[in-house]
Structure 1
Amino acid sequence: MSKLLIIKTGVSNKSVVKKCGDCDFRIARYAGVTMEDVIVASVYENIIPSSIEGVSSIIITGSPSMVTDSEPWSIATSRWLKSIVQKQIPILGICFGHQLLAQTLGGKVDYHELGEESGKVEIQLTNEGRRDPLLGILPSNFSAYVSHSQTVTKLPKNARVLAKNNFESNHAVSFGNKVWGVQFHPEYPDAPLCESINENSYGGILLRRFLQLAG
């Protein structure tokens, strides 16, 4: 069976991990797959995937690190991604992962001129987003959790903005065929104690749709 490769770029907040598990566990849970169907590459610990054999899709997590810090593991991951995007494997970047994809593909990342965006926010799909095979599954206006102080300040060539709000102009972007980035966190827990997963949450819907598109 083909597997989901999670590129883990850091560890979640300790309180969230204690209640709900780390980001890789939550991504798998929201996407509706077991950890047996997932390969986790902890790139923040300098573990770069040596092979993508048997991998059908890739998700890049958020991170407490900043893209502009240019840490050695982040640079190595960017080089790896640059070679992988040519292979037509569906890729989804989340927060840091979204920004790293943008920079890898020719865009720019820096601190947001308005500071930090955090908490539950309202986001709107663009016309392109409504037609997109991934983001188009969401309603035109939806809520999501965010936590970021950096942003994509310049999009790569041919990138398409799929969602935005008054604070963040690039909340979801298509970077090309089968490659997406979202600034918001679809894996963030809806329930405070994570005792249940709402299958109708927008984050869960998005992650399951991503895997569906990946086949």
Structure 2
Amino acid sequence: MPRLMIVKTGDSFADVIRDHGDFEDLFLAALAPMAEVGRDLTLTVHDARTEGVPPLPAAEDGVLITGSHAMVSDAEPWSEALKPWLVEARDRGVAMLGVCYGHQLMAAAFGGESGYHPDGREVGTRQLRLTAAGRADPLLGALPATFPAQLTHSQSVLSAPPGAEVLADNDHDPFQALRHGPRQWSVQFHPEFSADVMRAYLAHQREALAAQGEEPEARLAAVAPTPEAGGLLARFAERLALTPSVA
């Protein structure tokens, strides 16, 4: 039975945790349909900040790396320690999906660059586009060519790692989704966020958005469900459960 490890890299806001759950809880909720259809998959959570570098998964296993309020460019010791672990896991063929902080950390670990976006933060329900590679991708190719997703980030992947395929972009960010190998993906958006979680995040960022010339109330009004993007986690886990260690 393949195992799927959720590598926790941060905590959400206190009110989000109270009302909706922390990052790992949102991931586990998104993966609940797997249990409902009887898929054999063992789920574990490992907090890299307090538990150190995780044990290296077996080649047939998978890893999900969560978002965080930390910044990859701050190079915190626990985060830097994950970089060689990610490289070794990738080289072993472990299936991986990084989300937001996980996306930026994977890119930095594999030879790209992550840091503050020169145009500021991107928050809210935004439209993304699949590239030609994205439309042909076995994971992201199930999405529409243009699709809405929930985003909240001030750092981005500034340069993609050598050999990475760009799977999705938008006018703000040319690296919204990357494929780093046969079974290794990362996305800037939050497939685990519901519209209510997105609204809660926007409530925390009104002043920051106004300071960069955006209208927070307009962003709040534009929040909408994103079921296509939200299905990404279950599709990743289903591929792992059905075809372990197969690209």
Asked whether the two chains share a fold, i.e. TM above 0.5, the reply is: yes
- Which of 91, 106, 113 aligns to 2:118? It is 113
Shift of 1:49: 1.2
Report whether the alignment pairs 1:71 with 2:64: no
User: CA separation in 2, counterparts of 1:209 and 1:47?
Assistant: 28
Q: Which amino acid aligns with 1:209?
A: R
User: CA separation in 1, counterparts of 2:73 and 2:148?
Assistant: 28
> Is the 2:56–2:85 Cα contact (8 Å) retained in structure 1?
no
Structure number having the greater helix percentage: 2
- Calculate percent identity across the aligned residue pairs: 37
User: C-alpha offsets along residues 102-157 of structure 1, whole Å, 9 cap, x if unaligned?
Assistant: 01001011110100001111111111111000100111111111111111111111
> Is the 1:4–1:55 Cα contact (8 Å) retained in structure 2?
no
Report whether the alignment pairs 1:89 with 2:72: no
Shift of 1:163: 0.6
Q: Which amino acid aligns with 2:23?
A: C
> Is the 1:12–1:23 Cα contact (8 Å) retained in structure 2?
yes
Decide whether aligned partners of structure 1 residues 17 and 105 sit closer, same or farther in structure 2, where only a CA change above 3 A counts. same
User: CA separation in 2, counterparts of 1:192 and 1:155?
Assistant: 29
Shift of 1:74: 0.3
Instruction: Return the index of the structure with the highest Cα Rg.
Output: 2
User: CA separation in 2, counterparts of 1:114 and 1:19?
Assistant: 31
Task: Find the residue that maps to 1:186 and give its secondary structure.
Answer: coil
Q: Which amino acid aligns with 2:61?
A: S
Decide whether aligned partners of structure 1 residues 200 and 120 sit closer, same or farther in structure 2, where only a CA change above 3 A counts. closer
Trace 1:42-191 onto structure 2 (pairs within 5 A).
42-53=47-58, 56-191=61-196
In structure 1, runs of 5+ residues without a counterpart are 194-198
User: CA separation in 1, counterparts of 2:117 and 2:180?
Assistant: 20
> Is the 1:30–1:203 Cα contact (8 Å) retained in structure 2?
no
> Is the 1:3–1:54 Cα contact (8 Å) retained in structure 2?
no
Shift of 1:22: 0.9
User: With structure 2 as the length reference, what TM-score do the two structures score?
Assistant: 0.79
User: With structure 1 as the length reference, what TM-score do the two structures score?
Assistant: 0.90
Report whether the alignment pairs 1:214 with 2:240: yes
The residue number in structure 1 matching 2:207 is none
Shift of 1:203: 3.4
- Which of 212, 219, 228 aligns to 1:202? It is 228
User: CA separation in 2, counterparts of 1:52 and 1:100?
Assistant: 18
Aligned residues: 209
Dislocated runs of 4+, deviation >4 Å = none
Decide whether aligned partners of structure 1 residues 90 and 201 sit closer, same or farther in structure 2, where only a CA change above 3 A counts. same
Shift of 1:200: 8.1
> Is the 1:58–1:92 Cα contact (8 Å) retained in structure 2?
yes
